Amino acid sequence: MATQLPTIPNYNEIKPLESINNARIYTYRGKKIAGFELQGFRMICLPQAYEMFLKNVISGLHTVHSKLKRLQIRLVICNVEQA
């Protein structure tokens, strides 16, 4: 029986997001990575995660984007103030 995953809204198609003032540094596999919580979901910085964990096993960030799209995982695009 398949596990039902929570539905995550496509934040890029909604009105501007609330200000994200709860940025924090998470430790994952011994590395520190920037992130924040948004509506109960932990979000991490994909370019930073790519540099730390995926760079040596995936040919490029564009490959990550296409795989995420195939898995129906939506990215939240940060604005300049959040980056």
Residue-wise pLDDT for 40-55, tens only, equals 888 888 888 888 888 8
Pairing type for strands 24-28 and 31-38 reads antiparallel
Fold of 23-71: Mlu1-box Binding Protein; DNA-binding Domain (3.10.260)
Order of all β-strands in the sheet with 41-44: 24-28, 31-38, 41-44
Q: Identify the burial level of 61 via C-beta atoms within 10 angstroms of its C-beta, where 0-12 means exposed, 13-18 middle and 19 or more buried.
A: middle
Longest dimension (CA), the chain: 42
User: pLDDT (tens digit, 9 = 90+) per residue, 21-74?
Assistant: 678 888 888 999 888 887 788 888 888 888 888 888 888 888 888 888 888 877
Q: Could you state, in order of their start, the residue ranges of all structural domains in the chain?
A: 23-71
What is the pTM for the complete model shown?
Answer: 0.54
Higher pLDDT, 79 or 70: 70
The Cα 45–Cα 36 span in angstroms is 9
